[in-house]
């Protein structure tokens, strides 16, 4: 059975994911560096990892499998999970695939270099209703496609 893994530290779409997971009865595993308050729901599991900065990412990569859904805003984690044939969804509804992950990693590196040089300040735009709607639509689309291939 597939699972949804959430890179939970700072994830702005946890509540939205819980609702979709409940509708389809898909287990959700939240992975973070510190405990988070979760609704009482047997589908939700909290994993707290200790260690280095990438400990949560490493745990997700070690446990995810083909067809699992990974929710993350971390491009490098997305890259690692795409290589394991997981479905990876960003917070604003962009799915990362074999076709687009390379350019996403390159863009991330470019922006990081520009920030270090002082050419760019700030980060991504904050979440808005449109972004949450796009996220929900894409998550539902991914789940429907997994149903069609018999993974769910």
pLDDT (tens digit, 9 = 90+) per residue, 111-145? Answer: 566 666 776 666 666 778 999 999 999 999 999 99
CA 46/CA 31 separation, integer angstroms? 6
135, 91 contact by CB (below 8 A): yes
Q: How far, in Å, CA of 96 to CA of 105, rounded? A: 10
Q: Please, what are the domains in the chain?
A: 4-148 (3.40.50)
**31-58 average pLDDT score:** 93
Lowest mean pLDDT among 5-9, 50-54, 81-85, 98-102: 98-102
Please give the C-alpha separations between residue 88 and each of 43, 46, 139, in angstroms, as whole numbers: 20, 19, 10
Q: Which residues contact 9 (CB under 8 A, 6 or more apart)?
A: 32, 33, 34, 56
Note the pLDDT tens digit of each residue in 65-81. 999 999 999 999 999 99
Put simply, whether the predicted model's pTM sits higher than 0.95 gets the answer no
**Res 86 pLDDT > 70:** yes
């Amino acid at each position: 059975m597939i699972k949804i893994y959430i890179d939970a530290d700072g994830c702005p779409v946890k509540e939205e994911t819980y609702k979709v997971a409940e509708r389809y009865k898909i287990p959700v595993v939240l992975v973070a560096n510190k405990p988070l308050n979760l609704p009482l729901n047997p589908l939700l599991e909290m994993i707290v990892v200790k260690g280095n900065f990438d400990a949560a990412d490493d745990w997700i990569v070690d446990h995810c499998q083909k067809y699992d859904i990974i929710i993350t805003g971390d491009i490098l984690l997305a890259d690692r999970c795409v290589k394991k044939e997981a479905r990876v969804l960003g917070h604003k509804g962009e799915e990362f695939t074999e076709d687009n992950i390379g350019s996403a990693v390159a863009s991330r590196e470019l922006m990081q270099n520009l920030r270090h040089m002082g050419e760019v300040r700030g980060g991504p735009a904050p979440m808005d209703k449109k972004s949450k709607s796009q996220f929900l639509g894409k998550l539902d689309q991914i789940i429907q496609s997994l149903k069609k291939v018999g993974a769910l």
